[in-house]
Amino acid sequence: MTVDEGYYVKSVEKAFAILGAFTPDVPEHTVSTAAAAAGTSRAAARRFLLTLRDLGYLGFDGTAFRLAPRTLDVAAAYLAHLSLPQVAEQHLKQLSAELGETTSLCILDGTDVVYVSRITSLRLLRVAVNVGTRFPAWATSMGRVLLAQLPAEELETYFADVRLQQYTRSTVSSVAELREEVLLAGIRGWSKVTDELEDGLRGVAVPVRGADGTVVAAANVSLQLHSSDGVETTVLPLLRAAADRISRDLGSRGGPA
């Protein structure tokens, strides 16, 4: 990233690096582990951690630091002014009730998909997912739908830079295979992923369009009760109908903020 040194504040960068070290997989840190994760010295990490604790963004139990509820304030302020999750929620709830499955809405953020709305069914999922959870776009049905909508030059850059990881035996193993999957998602207007991110994790997704007709998100159904083989007749029609309703409501409200 190129920055103008006239305004750039390195201490802000370091503070957010410390906050970014706390993830769903690593929810707590000591001074030493936070320093290593943020790429800073132990002395600097200690100052940032204690400052963030005093400001209410971190908790400390005498041994380790972890995120405090106040960190939700920033995300809540963002989501409060984003009409997309608000518009989608009622339709995702209806879809979840119709299918008895968990439904979600994701956006593309860089190389990841980010969950901005999620309605969980009573059936327990193997992977804990909440609003704000990120997954690599290439490994998800939502991501492939969203990648398929990128301009050709941008998509080629993505393929050139992407680094695949073999999560399971079913995970796409090459960029060529991924390219085919993304192309197919663009042609048919939906994508299905089975056991690629984790064994037993299956899902199908379709695009959601904003007021100007461009794709702004992907609606998804996590397939727990329904067979992935029959998804085109059992799940896809209802999912597409829900995505169409979300798209129409976005149009009437002027699209996402």
Query: Is 5 contained in some domain?
Result: no
CATH number, domain at 43? 1.10.10.10
Residue 74 CB-half CA count within 13 A? 8
Q: What is the pLDDT of residue 149?
A: 92
Q: Is there a single domain that holds both residue 180 and residue 244?
A: yes
Q: Is there a single domain that holds both residue 96 and residue 161?
A: yes
Which domain does 122 fall in, by range?
81-252
Q: Is there a single domain that holds both residue 67 and residue 85?
A: no
Give CA–CA dist 198/191, Å, rounded: 17
Per-residue pLDDT tens digits for 185-195: 999 999 999 88
Q: Is there a single domain that holds both residue 201 and residue 238?
A: yes
Q: What is the pLDDT of residue 257?
A: 39
Query: Is 189 contained in some domain?
Result: yes
Give CA–CA dist 185/182, Å, rounded: 5
Burial of 231 (C-beta count, 10 Å sphere; 0-12/13-18/19+): buried
Domain count, the chain: 2
Per-residue pLDDT tens digits for 31-46: 999 999 999 999 999 9
Residues of the chain with pLDDT under 70: 1-5, 77-82, 122-128, 225-229, 252-257
Give CA–CA dist 95/235, Å, rounded: 10
Give CA–CA dist 47/31, Å, rounded: 9
List b or e across 86-106, with b for residues whose CB sees 16 or more CB atoms inside 10 angstroms.
bbbbebbebbbeebebbbbbb
> In the numeric block, which tokens belong to residue 182?
């993304």
Decide if 132 contacts 145 (C-beta within 8 A): no
Q: What is the pLDDT of residue 32?
A: 95
Q: Is there a single domain that holds both residue 42 and residue 92?
A: no
Q: Is there a single domain that holds both residue 47 and residue 169?
A: no
Q: What is the pLDDT of residue 178?
A: 93
Q: What is the pLDDT of residue 255?
A: 45
Q: Is there a single domain that holds both residue 203 and residue 102?
A: yes
Q: Is there a single domain that holds both residue 60 and residue 88?
A: no
Query: Is 257 contained in some domain?
Result: no
Q: Is there a single domain that holds both residue 213 and residue 135?
A: yes
Beta bridge partners of 208: 217
Q: What is the pLDDT of residue 82?
A: 58
Q: Which amino acid is at 173?
A: S
Rg from Cα positions in the chain: 20
Q: Is there a single domain that holds both residue 150 and residue 99?
A: yes
Q: Is there a single domain that holds both residue 37 and residue 94?
A: no
Q: Is there a single domain that holds both residue 93 and residue 210?
A: yes
